[in-house]
A and B are shown apart, each in its own frame.
Chain A
Amino acid sequence: MSSTSAHDDEERPWFLAHHFDTVGQQVSAAKLGMWLFCCTEVLMFSGLFLAYFIIRTLYPEMVLGASEELNKTAGGVNTIVLLTSSFTMALGVRAAQTNNQKALERNLLITIACAFIFMIVKYFEYTAKIEHGLLPGNWYAAAEHGYMLPKYSRVFFGVYFTMTGLHGVHVLVGIGVLSWIFIRARRREFNSENYVAVENAGLYWHIVDLVWIFLFPLLYLVK
Chain B
Amino acid sequence: MSKSKETPAAKANAPEPSYLTAKSGLMSWLVTVDHKRIGLMYLAATLFFFLVAGLLAIALRTELYTPTQDFMSAATYNKVFTLHGAIMVFLFIIPSVPAALGNFILPLMLGAKDVAFPKLNLLSFYIYCIAAVMLVTTLFLGSLDTGWTFYTPYSKSTGTAVIMATMGAFVAGFSSILTGVNFVVTVHKMRAPGMTWNRMPLMIWAIYATALIQVMATPVLAITLFLLIIERTLNIGIFDPALGGDPVLYQHFFWFYSHPAVYIMILPGFGIISELVTVHSRKHIFGYRAIALSSVAIAVISFIVWGHHMFVSGQSELAGIVFSFLTFAVAVPTAIKVFSWVATLYGGSIRFNTPMWYALVFLWTFTVGGLTGVYLGTLSVDVHLHDTYFVVAHFHYVMVGGTVVAFIGGLFHWWPKMFGRMFNETAGKISALLVFIGFNTTFMTQFFLGHQGMPRRYYAYLPEYEVMHQVSTIGSWILMVGLFTVLGTLLHAIKYGAKAPSNPWGAVSLDWQTASPPIEHNFHDTIHVTGSPYDFPEIDKSGAHH
Q: Do chains A and B directly touch (beta carbons under 8 Å) in the complex? A: yes
- In angstroms, how far is the closest chain B Cβ from the Cβ of A197? 13
Residue interface mask A34-75, B partner, CB < 8 A = 1: 001101110111111011001100110000000000000000
Determine the residue in chain B with the shortest Cβ distance to A7: B1
C-alpha spacing A218/B220, complex, angstroms: 20
CB distance from B506 to the nearest CB of A (A): 26
Complex CA distance for A100 and B118, rounded to whole angstroms: 31
Contact B220 A43 (CB under 8 A): yes
Chain A residues in 8 Å Cβ range of B217 = 43
Count of chain B residues near A, Cβ 8 A: 52
A33 engages B246 (CB within 8 Å): no
Shortest CB-to-CB span from B316 to chain A, Å, is 14
A43 partner, pick from B116, B219, B243, beta carbons under 8 A? B219
Interface assignment of B521: CB less than 8 Å from any CB of chain A: yes
Who on chain A is nearest to B220 by CB? A47
Given the complex of chains A and B, what is the CA–CA distance between A7 and B115 in angstroms?
20
Contact mask B232-249 → A, CB, 8 Å, 1/0? Answer: 001111100001111001
Q: Is A8 among interface residues, defined by CB-CB distance under 8 A?
A: yes
Q: What is the size category of the interface that chain A forms with chain B?
A: 35 or more
Give the residues in chain A near B177, CB-CB below 8 Å. Answer: 40
A155 touches B236 (CB 8 A): yes
- Which one of B221-229, B333-341, B369-377, B490-498 is at the A interface? B221-229
B181: Cβ under 8 A from any A Cβ: yes
B216 at interface (Cβ–Cβ under 8 A)? yes
Is A29 positioned at the interface, with any CB of B under 8 Å from its CB? yes
Say yes or no for A133: interface residue by CB 8 A criterion.
Answer: no
* Total of A-B residue pairs, C-beta within 8 Å: 136
Give a binary string over A13-28; 1 marks a CB under 8 Å from any B CB, 0 the rest. Answer: 0000011111001001
**CB-CB < 8 A to B120: which residues of A?**
33
| Chain A proximity mask over B1-17: 1 for CB below 8 Å, otherwise 0 | 11101100000001010
Task: Specify which of B115, B223, B249, B525 is in contact with A5 (CB 8 Å cutoff).
Answer: B525
Question: What is the CA–CA distance of A5 and B2 in the complex, to the nearest angstrom?
Answer: 6
Chain B minimum-CB-distance residue to A152: B244
Q: Does B253 lie at the interface of the complex (its beta carbon under 8 Å from any beta carbon of A)?
A: yes
Taking the complex as formed, is A139 at the interface, i.e. its CB lies under 8 A from any CB of chain B? yes
Q: How far is the CB of A128 from chain B (nearest CB, A)?
A: 19
Query: How distant is A56 from chain B, measured CB to nearest CB, in Å?
Result: 12
**Contacting pair B219 A19 (CB below 8 A):** no
Q: How far is the CB of B47 from chain A (nearest CB, A)?
A: 27
Is the CB–CB distance between A155 and B189 below 8 Å?
A: no
Residues of B within 8 A of A21 (CB): 1
Report yes or no: A155 in contact with B3, Cβ–Cβ below 8 A: no
In the assembled complex, the Cα of A162 lies from the Cα of B234 at a distance in Å of 11
Smallest beta-carbon distance B226→chain A, Å:
8
A20 to B116, CA, bound (A): 8
A159 within 8 A of B: yes
Verify if B499 is at the interface (C-beta below 8 Å from A): no
Asked if B189 and A22 sit within 8 Å, CB to CB, the answer is: no
Contact between B236 and A33, CB atoms less than 8 A apart: no
A158 at the interface (CB under 8 A from B): yes
Q: How far is the CA of A3 from the CA of B524 in the complex (A)?
A: 9
> Does B117 count as interface, using CB distance less than 8 angstroms?
yes
B520: chain A residues at CB < 8 Å are 1, 3
Q: A7-B1, A44-B220 are in contact. Are A25 and B114 (CB under 8 A)?
A: no
Instruction: List CB contacts (< 8 Å) of A70-122 with chain B.
Output: none
Contact partners of B541 in chain A: CB under 8 A: none
User: Which residues of chain A are near B112, meaning CB under 8 Å?
Assistant: 19
- The reply on B516 being an interface residue by CB < 8 A is no
Q: Does B190 contact A (CB under 8 A)?
A: yes
> What's the least CB distance linking B289 to chain A, in Å?
24
A32: contacting residue among B114, B184, B235, CB under 8 A: B184
A51 touches B249 (CB 8 A): yes
Interface contact B216-A43, CB-CB below 8 Å: yes
- Which of B118, B244, B525 has the most CB atoms of chain A within a 10 A radius of its CB? B244
Instruction: Please give me the residue from chain A that is nearest to B107 by CB atom.
Output: A19
**Given A4-B521, A39-B216, A162-B227: A54 touches B249 (CB 8 Å cut-off):** yes
Q: Which A111-144 residues sit within 8 Å CB-CB of chain B? A: 136-139
Q: Which of B180, B190, B223, B236 contacts A47 (CB 8 A)?
A: B223
Q: A5-B524, A33-B116, A51-B227 are in contact. Are A158 and B236 (CB under 8 A)?
A: yes
Which A residues between 164 and 211 are near B, CB-CB below 8 angstroms? 166
Nearest CB in chain A to that of B178: its residue: A37
A29 & B116 in contact (Cβ 8 Å cutoff): yes
CA distance A170 to B216 in the complex (A): 19
B235 with A138: CB separation less than 8 A:
yes
Residues of A within 8 A of B114 (CB): 19
Contact (Cβ within 8 A) B253 A137: no
Q: Is A148 an interface residue (CB 8 A)?
A: no
Minimum C-beta distance from B523 to chain A (A): 9
Interface residues in B179-212 by Cβ distance below 8 A to A read 180-182, 184-185, 188-190
A59 touches B521 (CB 8 A): no
Taking CB atoms, residues of chain A closer than 8 Å to B116 are 19, 29, 33
A43-B216, A138-B235 known; A5+B3 contact, CB < 8 A: yes
B216 lies within 8 A of A48 (CB): no
Minimal Cβ-Cβ distance residue in B for A18: B113
* Min CB gap B319→A, angstroms: 14
Question: Quick one: given A19-B113, A32-B188, are A155 and B237 in contact (CB under 8 Å)?
Answer: yes
What's the minimum C-beta distance from A94 to chain B, rounded to whole angstroms?
A: 25
Question: Given A36-B184, A139-B234, are A58 and B218 also a contact pair (CB < 8 Å)?
Answer: no
The residue of chain A having its C-beta at the shortest distance from the C-beta of B11 within the complex is A5
Residues of B within 8 A of A154 (CB): 236-237, 243-244
Known: A32-B189, A39-B215, A138-B234. A44 touches B6 (CB 8 A): no
The answer to whether A59 touches B16 (Cβ under 8 A) is no
Query: What residues of chain A lie closer than 8 Å to B117, measured between beta carbons?
Result: 29, 33
Taking a contact as CB atoms under 8 Å apart, the answer to whether B218 and A40 are in contact is yes
Q: Roughly how many angstroms separate A28 CA and B230 CA in the complex, as a whole number?
A: 38
Assembly CA distance A51 to B189 (angstroms): 37
Docked Cα-Cα span, A159 to B226, in Å, equals: 12
Contacts of B3 in A (CB 8 A): 5-6, 8
CB-based contact A44/B219 at 8 Å: yes
Asked if A136 contacts B234 (CB within 8 A), the reply is: yes
CB distance A152 to B243 under 8 Å?
Answer: yes
CA distance A137 to B232 in the complex (A): 10
Give 1 or 0 for each of A145-157: 1 = CB within 8 Å of chain B CB: 0000001101100
Of the listed residues A18, A22, A25, A137, the one surrounded by the most CB atoms of chain B closer than 10 A to its CB is A137
Q: Would you mind naming 11 contact pairs between A and B with Cβ atoms under 8 Å apart?
A: A3-B16, A5-B5, A39-B216, A44-B223, A47-B220, A48-B223, A138-B235, A152-B243, A154-B236, A158-B236, A158-B237
Apart from A33-B185, A39-B216, A158-B237: 17 A-B pairs, beta carbons within 8 A: A4-B2, A18-B521, A19-B190, A20-B190, A32-B185, A32-B189, A33-B181, A36-B181, A44-B222, A44-B223, A136-B234, A136-B236, A137-B230, A138-B235, A152-B244, A162-B236, A166-B226
Q: Which 4 A-B pairs have the closest CB atoms?
A: A158-B236, A47-B223, A137-B234, A152-B244
